[in-house]
A and B are shown apart, each in its own frame.
Chain A
Amino acid sequence: MMKTFIQKVLTDADYQPARLLTILRALQAEYQHIPIDAIDILADALNIPRTQIIAVVEFYSFLHLTPQGRYDILISDSITDRMQGKENLLGYLSSALKVKAGQVRDDGLVSLNNTSCTGMCDQGPAGLVNGHALTKLDRPRIDEIAALVEQQKPLGEWPPHLFAVDDNIYKAGLLLNGPIENGAAIQATYTRGINNTLEELDRAGLRGRGGAGFKTAMKWRFCAEEPSEQHFVVCNADEGEPGTFKDRVLLNSHAEQVFEGMTIAAAIIGANQGFLYLRGEYLHIFDKLQAILQQRRNAGLLGANILGQGLDFDIEIRLGAGAYICGEESALIESMEGKPGIPRNRPPYPVTSGYLNQPTVVNNVETFLAVAKIAIEGGDWFASFGTEKSAGSKILSICGDCSRPGIYEYPFGVSIEQILADCGASNVLGIQVGGPSGTFISNQEFNRQLAFEDLATGGSFIIFNNSRNILEIVQNFTHFFAHESCGFCTPCRVGTALLKKQLDKIIEGHGSAGDVVELESLCQLVKSNSHCGLGQTAANPILSTLQRYPDVYEKQLKSISYEPGFDLDGSLEIARRMAHRDDAAAHLSQVED
């Protein structure tokens, strides 16, 4: 039985070890876990070590070695979900289904757990059931879901409104306003000439939209100049930064243009194969995207000899399986090769040695979207928007405390004040710009600009009003990084856990002055010694709030010089009980008398 199923999955995957994640996702969906027998079969069939398969299963949140429920429900634990009442709803769901978060119910019907931000911040609280997005959760919906689970109704028969995902585009700018005609950008590229198109991208001053802001034309030129038989184009749609959801909207409504941008990249760097690495949380748009790819093949915009220009290029979608770190481009490539998403040493950079060690261009969804438009309109057109160092526009995912959370596109250089006014935010305490790895700005900084030279962002913009508690926000972000650390390097693996512990100690009221000093030095240690961007930015929530709100931390502190961060007397409880003692010497005070 299982053997037949695995053979089918393997055949679909063409026995490619690089497609291990795809194969394992199929097994997880079928058996609610990866059976140990399956691991042996896969190891033989793919000729890879079984330890690699186990490492992959253990690495990704959506893969399991032990069976999950036939309905596996995950609730998004982003700060915005919490602000929309997630904690309360999780408790409600937990009692409705009689299963605790983190557990599988005894009858194996349902399991419940938390998961990192699912990218539905503008329509939360959100969740996933067997990988499919649930939005706008409230008590009536929870009742509905619980009933459907108990009736064991197949997911395909659940009412569609539970899975409805809205685009919520509130402000369209130069990219969202004028979608291109299919094929027009490829046609323009060939009419102008490949080299001239690269020149146009250079003139446009386009910088990577994922957040880091590397010049796109420069990246593509480096890759094109790399002598190699194969080059690859990868679109990074592993949009995991909490508070970011614009790539979901772009792929839902502008995927054609994104694929067109990828095709232009292929023409420029000489690639025959492209990949869209889609985060597992966006499974709900997978079929739609596959259909669009097929339409493009039918229209001669993908496949052999595209538009009769001699370009052979196709795009394959690879789904992730729940790992924030895979948004880092070298971790993403590792993941695409069927391995745990552990960032590589750089250099060599992907442009010289990326997927299968071949020159590879990895860019954000929005970058490819912009490329297609620039190919038609030209570099000068694009550069006429934005600021000198940040040309063009930025598409923002705005969420949190505002009346119109959703997608907003602005020319770079827009002031924070303007954005707040547009999305209907008032009484603002502060904003997390660029997600947890970015910066927390206070309400004294609203004259600042959104641009690479001031506040850079990959798109995340979370607004907090004065009713919010800064320490709760920082705690949520700090726990997030500790959970998402890939575990490869010690400063990050151990450091993020220590940050979490030290911050919790202060928030729980066991902190003294020395503990804040200790926290700050830990932050510096993790920041300056970690292997990749995750560890290097994991301390940002603490550092940027410590700098702006020292008083908030100080208020938590006791005037005594030191207090343990755990309950000393409570930790004697087991020994007391077993020795049947309760005399004075069998107790400890929390601080020295």
Chain B
Amino acid sequence: MANKIKVATTSLAGCFGCHMSFLDLDERLIALAEVAEFDRSPITDIEHCGPCDIGLIEGGVCNSENVHVLREFRKNCKILVAVGACAINGGLPAMRNHISLEDCLLEAYRDGIGVENAQIPNDPELPLLLDKVHPIHEVVKVDYYLPGCPPSADVFWAFLTALLEGREPSYPYELVHYD
């Protein structure tokens, strides 16, 4: 098929759990590969994103690098999707929002038990932390949200097949209740 849709994926302040869940599509990945190809993604190891149709973002925004990556995706992807609890709400990493960044850094690099050679990392190669972890829609415009921690493979499938068929995605109740 000549005009495959292009998909890019990345994980910001996430745990790659959403990506693992995506792989749970199992044999449906073969069907997906018939109509889609991957641009930047941990699956391809492509480093920078080119023009894409769909960008899937896992994780929230916790540091300056996350901001750059997210902007690269927004610039290149026609449709940008917040995947999973962390991208949507900040999730687990955002639990640090109740503690000042100063206290977090001091605990991790100076005062914590077992810290040796205490110092705050300052290599220019390292991205700086934002004082709060943000959901991605607070930094760029987001088109769709896939709920779940992680969203199940069926949610990914329902979403992608809907987009491919030109329908507005919707999820049956069974896919989005968590108790």
Contact = CB atoms under 8 A, between A and B. Distances in A.
Contacts of B132: 571
Given A568-B139, A572-B64, A586 B128 contact: yes
Given A581-B122, A585-B64, A588-B67, A575 B139 contact: no
Contacts of A580: 122
A588 B68 CA distance: 9
Interface stretch (A237-245, A376-384, A557-565): A557-565
B138 interface: yes
B101 A562 contact: no
A588 B102 contact: no
A159 interface: no
Interface string B63-76: 01001000100110
Contacts of B100: 574
A470 B138 CA distance: 25
B128 A575 contact: yes
Contacts of B172: none
B2 to A, nearest CB: 30
Contacts of A579: 120-122, 126, 128
B67 A575 contact: no
B114 interface: no
Nearest to A561: B141
A574 B122 CA distance: 13
A581 B124 contact: yes
Main secondary structure of the interface of B (DSSP, over half): mixed
A540 B90 CA distance: 29
A574 B64 CA distance: 13
Given A579-B120, A580-B122, A571 B130 contact: yes
Interface residues of B, number: 25
Interface in B31-82: 64, 67, 71, 74-75
A30 interface: no
Interface in B104-152: 105, 120-122, 124, 126-132, 134, 138-141
Interface in A507-553: 512, 514
A583 interface: yes
B101 A564 contact: no
A106 interface: no
Contact of B138 (A565, A573, A576, A583): A565
A222 interface: no
Interface string A46-77: 00000000000000000000000000000000
A564 B137 CA distance: 8
Interface string A492-515: 000000000000000000001010
A566 interface: yes
A580 B126 CA distance: 13
Interface centre among A565, A572, A581 (most CB of B within 10 A): A572
B86 to A, nearest CB: 17
A342 B130 CA distance: 38
Q: Which 8 A-B pairs have the closest CB atoms?
A: A579-B122, A575-B128, A562-B141, A571-B130, A574-B101, A571-B131, A592-B71, A575-B129
Interface of B: 64, 67, 71, 74-75, 100-102, 105, 120-122, 124, 126-132, 134, 138-141
26 contacts: A514-B141, A562-B141, A564-B138, A564-B139, A565-B138, A566-B134, A568-B139, A571-B130, A572-B64, A572-B130, A572-B131, A573-B131, A574-B101, A574-B131, A575-B101, A575-B105, A575-B129, A578-B120, A579-B126, A581-B122, A581-B124, A581-B128, A583-B124, A585-B64, A585-B127, A592-B75
